[in-house]
A and B are shown apart, each in its own frame.
Chain A
Amino acid sequence: MELICPAGTRASLEAAVEAGADAIYCGFCDETNARNFPGLNFTREDMRAGIAFAHRHGVKVMVAINTFARAGALALWESAIDDAVEAGADALILADVATLDYAARRHPQQRLHVSVQAGAANPDAIRFYVESFGAQRVVLPRVLSVPEIAAIMRETTCETEVFVFGGLCVMEEGRCSLSSYATGKSPNMQGVCSPASHVAYKEQRGEVVSTLGGFTINRFAKDEPAGYPTLCKGRFSTPQGSGYIFEDPVSLDAATMLPALRAAGVTALKIEGRQRGRAYIAQVVRAFRRSLAALDAGMPAPAAGLAAMSEGQASTVGAYRKTWR
């Protein structure tokens, strides 16, 4: 199985290459990618240089242009596609049928991957992307159990890529409007979930209170591990009690699921975290490279020791082992 690693900067890309990535995914510094954060991402020049660097080390680069194009502004997404192809991208990761259609017609030789943002979670949806646009890989949304992934694999020849580590969404990828509701900015169209411009932290007697767009999201007690200021991981008061309603602030860690994912026929494993620093990228990529080596050797997976890297310093195997439904 290929190891697909995130990069938000040239330094992160090089860290991922050094740590053992088979491929890296990254995006341009604009709203065409779903990690449109301040100070992050690649200029056109960065992209050309980053791809050249990766190729010299035998590593592929996939360019994520995975937000949904705004009406009247499709040119921004089209130019991102053209520039990624010109820069030598090994694959484009796309979600919007408009961008998939443009890429398939304009660059018929370009390898296309269907982003997790497209939410293609069944064989019929995948077949649509394969037949309509020649998509060669689909990144599966994080709503599927391993048996469900295996069932999909039996009905498609399309390659599949699954997340194995990092931040989790509320299982409505490409469709979530929670952050849009609170901030007026859309993760799906502008690439900003819980935009930093709308986030505030306040420390009060050892507690940290986080707010998003003026809404209080969470209050972390002294020394309690913290999470991102997203509505989906906020604590709410309801008639049934107070607590996490949608999901806990935890990260996905599917290291223990690698044998099952391989048996299911998964092509590639993806690490989330383009917004993270290169220390995260180096450490997580190395840990999963070690786990894959152990898997190939028939050895037990070594302890990854990634708790400190996880949101809330806690982890889950998420939907892969769907005992929570």
Chain B
Amino acid sequence: MAHPDTPHLDAFHADMAPTDAVPPTLPALVALALRPLPLAPLQPALALMLRRIGQCHPRLYGRLGEHASKRFGIDPTDLPFRFVLEPRPQRPSVRAVRSLPKGLDAQIRGPLSALIGMAEGSLDGDALFFSRMLVVEGDVEAVLALRNAIDDARLDLGALLFGGLGPLGRVLTEVLRRHRQPPADPLGARPPSGARPWN
């Protein structure tokens, strides 16, 4: 989808939260409850979301360039499963797995809300890295290309997941948007323990 010439600035910046706020982690009990669930039912939703990203944001592949053929391991540290992403333009795939396989080109680790916030552009990847909430290993160039491509695409994961469900989809999208919003209170921010005067 081309960038709209007529902008809806308020709309696409409405959920940009201050990044001083720490992305919430999933409660351990929720993660525990998710652990025995089968992963197979996740696949259709993941495939749908990836297909829609490809359809709605073809320019994303221009930014990914040669890195579109890489295999990325996405590891939400507060979930009992991970994802293997292969963003190839022709046959993109994302699979939920219990543990990441060997031989991946790159791995990105962090709390689910941080990964979603970065994917949707409400959180800055470098800031997450500085705060140590985000860990990157492997092909850093590929990760940067992926991050920049996604940041430019302005993904709305909720809309991509539930967009085909009409009014119900809009409700679900709004519920998801509210749930993933970091606390607005800056007092909830991580104390700048490492902050120190330089001079």
Contact = CB atoms under 8 A, between A and B. Distances in A.
Nearest to B196: A314
Contacts of B64: 39
B4 to A, nearest CB: 9
Contacts of B127: 279-280, 308-309
Nearest to B152: A9
A37 interface: yes
A277 B118 contact: yes
Contact of A250 (B123, B189, B193, B198): B198
Contact of A38 (B3, B13, B125, B141): B141
Given A199-B140, A227-B130, A309-B19, A277 B198 contact: no
B124 A39 contact: no
Given A15-B13, A39-B64, A201-B135, A307 B140 contact: no
B177 interface: no
Interface of A: 8-12, 14-15, 17-19, 37-40, 43, 49, 52-53, 195-197, 199-203, 208, 220, 222-227, 247-248, 250, 275-280, 282-283, 305-318, 321, 323-324
Contacts of A278: 16, 121, 151
B146 A316 contact: no
Contact of A308 (B5, B12, B125, B131): B131
A279 B122 contact: yes
Count class of interface residues, chain B: 35 or more
B192 A307 contact: yes
B199 A39 contact: no
A125 to B, nearest CB: 26
Nearest to A228: B126
Given A201-B136, A308-B19, A313-B131, A321 B199 contact: yes
B71 to A, nearest CB: 17
Contacts, number: 178
Contact of A37 (B123, B144, B195): B144
A12 B151 contact: yes
A223 B19 contact: no
Contacts of A317: 199
Interface string B155-199: 000000000000000000000000000000010011011111111
A276 B147 CA distance: 10
A14 B7 contact: yes
B148 interface: yes
B135 A313 contact: no
A11 B129 contact: no
Contacts of A316: 197-199
Nearest to B146: A39
B130 A311 contact: yes
